[in-house]
Amino acid sequence: MTRQKTEIRQEQIKQAVLDIIFTEGLKNLSTRNLAKHIGMSEGSIFRHFETKQDIILSIIQDVQDEFIGALRTIANANRDPEVRLNEFLCETVHYLIANKGITMLLFSEASHNNDETLKKNLQVIFSSQKMLISKIFIDGIAAGKWDESINVSNLAMIYMGIPISINIDLVLSSNEFSSENFCSNMMQLLLKILKR
Amino acid sequence: MTRQKTEIRQEQIKQAVLDIIFTEGLKNLSTRNLAKHIGMSEGSIFRHFETKQDIILSIIQDVQDEFIGALRTIANANRDPEVRLNEFLCETVHYLIANKGITMLLFSEASHNNDETLKKNLQVIFSSQKMLISKIFIDGIAAGKWDESINVSNLAMIYMGIPISINIDLVLSSNEFSSENFCSNMMQLLLKILKR
DNA sequence: AATAAATAAGTAATCACTCACTTAAATTAA
DNA sequence: TTAATTTAAGTGAGTGATTACTTATTTATT
């Protein structure tokens, strides 16, 4: 195989991991199969990542940087809470659909290994989302737009169910998920809860 | 080990599977570890189940018989939809907490193996719940109690997010989940969506 | 020449599962 | 009731396949 910089190979390896998980399942994510998938030797993989676990952790780090980073920007923007809520939800839906392998990876790894480092990382991803969406709710309530009797923590939990339900759908049914009206439909229901 | 009927051993094996999955993760669910956990020889396991996969499938069958069965009884009862909704939600919460290993099993197996039989079974479990909760919504709307402009399918999806969120919480944080007020808190939010 | 990347051929460990055999319990026959 | 026979449950040492990972060596780039 032609020589490439380790950074390029790392990206290739991570992408191949996601591909395999989504198409063949985590069970088939062996270093042998991974190497075959990329077209490189098995030994090369360990030149670019020390362990297989490190590949997973690197992907989880990407999710935190890219996805959670984007959500943070949306949540902290100085704009109408309803607009932010809508963008937050849509960004989530689009990311999950565009990166189908990632959610399966997160689900699987949490339950497959009982690794504490991994679980901690996943908990950060979930609690970050909860925290950020709560901030939007609180801002809207503080601005007098939304019902102040709403329990923000409970509503955040309901909200978190939405992306997770999408994931289950993506995992179990291989058919296309229609994201077109999904965002606005969910927004309608959320806004009804938030209405004073 | 003292001799026991295969039915008794099958139950022991299934319970040990759930224990291991919850405490040690799916990765440690080897037939060797399973045998050690029960205190029997590895060979004995295969006296009572033909394959390891058969153990998993038997557990999934139990979920369909016990859990979905109970939900069906609640959903189809001839009672006030609000009462049924409340019972449906509480039954779900209690079952998930009482059988922590099961949800991790369902999550894991769907994404770990990419087995079609398994996925089909899980899809039945999820879609059954959706169908039954939808029936309760529809009954309440038909009775004129709830908002007829509500999109039942979308609300069912939001509802399904609740038990799944509980699972994520159970998997990621080992601390106790407080089910006490959870039911009534979630009911409040759902009823606000349903209100005319 | 020096360095980084790729490889083939290993490694020990673990996997689900099998096998030949033992033994306890249930069934039948005397 | 007792003795003979059948059946079901349990065992421990194996099976080949696969796992993540290593190492010695070769190859390409600067």
Q: A5-44: per-residue pLDDT in tens?
A: 999 999 999 999 999 988 888 889 999 999 999 999 999 9
Using C1' positions and the CA of B3, the closest nucleotide is D9
Nearest to B158 among A24, A119, A161 (CB): A161
Q: What is the pLDDT of residues B123-147, one digit of tens each?
A: 899 999 999 999 999 999 999 999 9
Q: What is the pLDDT of residues A172-189, one digit of tens each?
A: 776 667 667 888 999 999
Torsion over CA: A84, A87, A90, A96 (sign): negative
Amino acid at B88: F
Amino acid at A8: I
Chain B CA closest to residue A102: B111
pLDDT mean across residues, chain B: 90
A168/A138 Cα distance (integer angstroms): 29
Structural domains for chain A: 1-49 (1.10.10.60), 57-194 (1.10.357.10)
Cβ-contact A56, A109 below 8 angstroms: yes
Cβ-contact B150, B137 below 8 angstroms: yes
Best mutation site among A96, A172, A190 for testing chain B: the one with the most B CBs within 10 Å? A172
What pLDDT, on the 0 to 100 scale, is given for residue A33? Answer: 95
CA distance between the termini of chain B: 63
Whether chain A has a CB inside 8 Å of the CB on B124: the answer is no
What pLDDT, on the 0 to 100 scale, is given for residue B174? Answer: 66
Q: What is the pLDDT of residues A147-161, one digit of tens each?
A: 999 999 999 999 998
Q: Which of residues 45-74 of B touch strand C (CB under 7 A)?
A: 46, 50-53
Q: Protein A55 CA to nucleic acid D12 C1', in Å?
A: 39
B8-11 contacts, C-beta under 8 A, 24 or more apart: B9/B40, B9/B44, B9/B47, B9/B48, B10/B48, B10/B49, B10/B58
